[in-house]
Amino acid sequence: MPATPHIEHHFTATETVRDIVIGMSDGLTVPFALAAGLSGAIASSGIVVTAGLAEIAAGSIAMGLGGYLAARTDAEHYGSEMEREREEVRTVPDREAEEVSEVFRGYGLSDAQTAPIVDAMRRDPGKWVDFMMRFELGLEKPEPSRARTSAMTIAGSYIVGGLIPLAPYMLLSQARTALYVSVVMTLIALFIFGYVKGHFTGITPVRGALQTITVGGLAAAIAFAIARLIS
């Protein structure tokens, strides 16, 4: 009887999901808070739309730049640590070999079992360094285009998220009426966003939706209250 092939399905784009979550979450809450605060002070939606679009433009640039710099910092840190490991493998190989043994001891292997592995690594310094980077330092090699991709993903997600609470103000002339529609649309968007995020990250989609709408709704409510107090 033929065996059923075992296929594992793992989600690997965690960095992309993280960037989307960062951009979308801020995009849904910050422009909403600004629009809500202005709605309490002015009656026309036109000014709210102008201010909201300006905020989305500035916010997406700032968030994208932050993501770019964070990714560049990760890449530079990885590069500097790799150079340090290469130097240590070259100048103090015995100490590095002992560190390899310590890693495997943590998995329950004896010195006799790890000795052939250590010897094999000594013959391939490149893979030895890669092993130390991953299992001693816990660092994964960043993708070369990570910084650029992160910046565009965060900025794009911020723009998409920001246009959702602002859309009612583009369609309705009365700011107070648009505010009520914006609240409903923002909460629905948070629920859908959380549901999709839960599906991709492995948690129960409904649970992900409830978490997102709770956290995002609370953040939006606090931001709205602060904006109203200031205005």
Q: Which residue has the tokens 């995020």?
A: 197
User: What is the phi/psi pair of residue 199, to 5°?
Assistant: -60, -40
Q: Say yes or no: 86 and 47 in one domain.
A: no
Q: Say yes or no: 168 and 208 in one domain.
A: yes
Q: Say yes or no: 213 and 192 in one domain.
A: yes
Q: Say yes or no: 61 and 112 in one domain.
A: no
Q: What is the pLDDT, as a whole number, of residue 7?
A: 47
Per-residue pLDDT tens digits for 61-112: 999 999 899 888 888 888 888 888 888 878 887 888 787 788 778 777 777 7
Flag whether 146 is in a domain.
no
Q: Say yes or no: 199 and 179 in one domain.
A: yes
pLDDT category at 132 given cuts 50, 70, 90 is confident
Q: Say yes or no: 102 and 204 in one domain.
A: no
Number of domain units in the chain:
2
Output the pTM of the full model: 0.74
Q: Say yes or no: 164 and 66 in one domain.
A: yes
Which has the higher per-residue pLDDT, 70 or 145? Answer: 70
SS3 assignment, position 44: strand
Q: Say yes or no: 130 and 111 in one domain.
A: yes
Cα→Cα distances 95→52, 66, 101, 187, Å:
58, 38, 10, 56
Residue 40: its H or E element: none
Q: Say yes or no: 187 and 210 in one domain.
A: yes
H-helix segments, 92-202: 93-105, 111-122, 125-131, 146-171, 175-201
What domain range is 21 assigned to?
Answer: 14-70+154-230
Q: Say yes or no: 61 and 93 in one domain.
A: no
Q: What is the pLDDT, as a whole number, of residue 6?
A: 43
Flag whether 28 is in a domain.
yes
**Is it the case that residue 12 has pLDDT exceeding 50?**
no
Flag whether 225 is in a domain.
yes
